[in-house]
Structure 1
Amino acid sequence: MTKETPHIKPNGAEIAETILLPGDPLRAKFIADTYLTDVVQFNEVRGMLGFTGTFNGKRISVMGTGMGTPSMSIYSWELIHIFGVKNLIRIGSAGAIQDHLNLYDIVFVMGAATDSNYLHQYNLPGHYSITASFELLEKAKKVADEKGQKVFVGNVLSSDIFYNADPTALQKWSEMGILCAEMESAGLYVNAAHAGVNALCILTISDHIFRKEQTTPEERQTSFTKMMEIALELA
């Protein structure tokens, strides 16, 4: 029986055990067109494009996830539990909230603080530490070092809120050493941890929130190639 979900309909096409997950489906298409060979498209439901191809002799998939923890959590849960994906690597953008970070810097997400209530479903008797797979994090750092690519490793804020009514919120997170803000890492890491699979988020700084600096949508779609190339090496 062909596997499918309400959100992913491969029609028998392969989904690899390692998948790259940009938020933007057009970034997924860019990666497939630019880096992969023998490409097949495995999803177009809701415009969330997914592709599988070959990179350095290994099969790898890439698919958009949309924005926010709910969207990332739906897609990552289905990829893990229905399609057997074992390594999920988010490649996304983030807004810096530390002075030493600049546009296009790369951040490896070691841990994700969050204001999301996604963890409530597990009824945990305390506060859960949301962290990356050390296996993927260690491998990614080695790849970056071999490429001579400087990266920052640390904690980020995975927030449900893009336009915050509290103007002091991000400053408070900055004072706790949080590097940048994004919206998906926590959901991905929690799903992966509960299922016993690997997850890592690699981010490119697309804007600096306090300095009011930003890249364009087109640059976010096609110019974050250093991050993409590190992620592809993890297959």
Structure 2
Amino acid sequence: MTGDSEDPNADVQYHVEVGPEDVSDAVLLPGNPERVDKITALWDDHEERAYHREYRTATGHYDGAEISVTSTGIGSPSAAIAVEELARVGVETYIRVGSCGAIQPEMDVGDLVITTGAVRQEGTSDEYVREDYPAVADHEVVAALVAAAERLDYDYHTGLTMSADSFYAGQGRPGFEGFEAAGADSLVEELQDANVKNIEMEAAAILTLANVYGLRAGAVCSVYANRVTGEFRTEGESRAAETASLAVKLLRKMDEAKAEAGVDHWHPGLSLD
């Protein structure tokens, strides 16, 4: 028993500082608060609703569809707080929008990676469910992200993502003064052999929490680095943002199609036009 003191304000959430009237039921989740401006620049209109710690929230419209964005900071612990508190104010759809390192040689810097599931190397999701519980993206969100990338003619890949808690040791990079964590020298190769596409730091926790709570979530990241070729450029950020924004528009069309057909799940036999 924790008591009411753990939730001192029933209307405005403690960390993200938003209430039900501040956000849409679909929210994009970038890590960096500075990405909020880059995302909302693609929208028809927007209004900032809150900015507390790493959590910056704006709500507006993309191609007529209501949409919100909340930055989560770096890593799964803060991303999980965002999902928890946004769920409390009525958010049902979450799309992580970020950057990543690719680990397959055919993936180019600037390409998009649409996550279908995630390796839970982060520790946050372990505090919710057993370690063999899968972190799976919602099939409707994946379909909407793929459709959006196709319509926008952006190069993309689909597949498994590994989420780590550490940018350095946990991703097989050397730490301070060349420190190497146990297994760091074989980590990327083992993931490659298992056909994992990319490494980042939030997707696994977001997908796990969404599944636990019966919500829908997905992730699209732009490739900033290829760990195989050594190429690095901060490229493709706006493509990930636009793909995720259009996906929200398409998800609303999916929901309309489901309602019209009287079914609970969207499938390719239902039109998105």
Q: TM-score, normalised by structure 1?
A: 0.89
Give 1:130 deviation, angstroms: 1.2
**For residues 127 and 10 of structure 1, do their structure 2 counterparts lie closer, same or farther at Cα, with a shift above 3 Å needed?**
closer
- Alignment-mate amino acid for residue 97 of structure 1: I
Unpaired runs of 5+ residues, structure 2, are 1-8, 170-180, 249-273
Moved over 4 A (4+): none
Residue correspondence of structure 1 range 69-218 to structure 2 within 5 A: 69-80=76-87, 82-122=88-128, 124=130, 127-164=132-169, 165=181, 166-216=184-234
Aligned to 2:60: 53
SS in 1 for 2:72: coil
Q: Measure, in 2, the Cα distance between the counterparts of 1:168 and 1:44.
A: 40
The answer on 1:233 being equivalent to 2:246 is yes
Give 1:161 deviation, angstroms: 2.1
- Is the 2:147–2:247 Cα contact (8 Å) retained in structure 1? no
Q: Measure, in 2, the Cα distance between the counterparts of 1:78 and 1:167.
A: 38
**For residues 2 and 114 of structure 1, do their structure 2 counterparts lie closer, same or farther at Cα, with a shift above 3 Å needed?**
closer
Greater RCO (CA < 8 Å, at least 6 residues apart): 1
Q: TM-score, normalised by structure 2?
A: 0.77
- Alignment-mate amino acid for residue 69 of structure 2: V
Q: Who wins on radius of gyration, i.e. which is larger?
A: 2
Aligned to 1:40: 47
SS in 2 for 1:149: coil
Report the aligned-residue RMSD. Answer: 1.9
- Alignment-mate amino acid for residue 193 of structure 1: N
Q: Percent identity?
A: 27
Which of 54-63 and 195-204 deviates more?
54-63
Count matched residues.
227
- Deviations along 1:15-39, one digit per CA (max 9) or x if unpaired, are 000111111111112222x122442
Q: Measure, in 1, the Cα distance between the counterparts of 2:127 and 2:137.
A: 20
SS in 1 for 2:18: coil
Aligned to 2:70: 63
Unpaired runs of 5+ residues, structure 1, are none
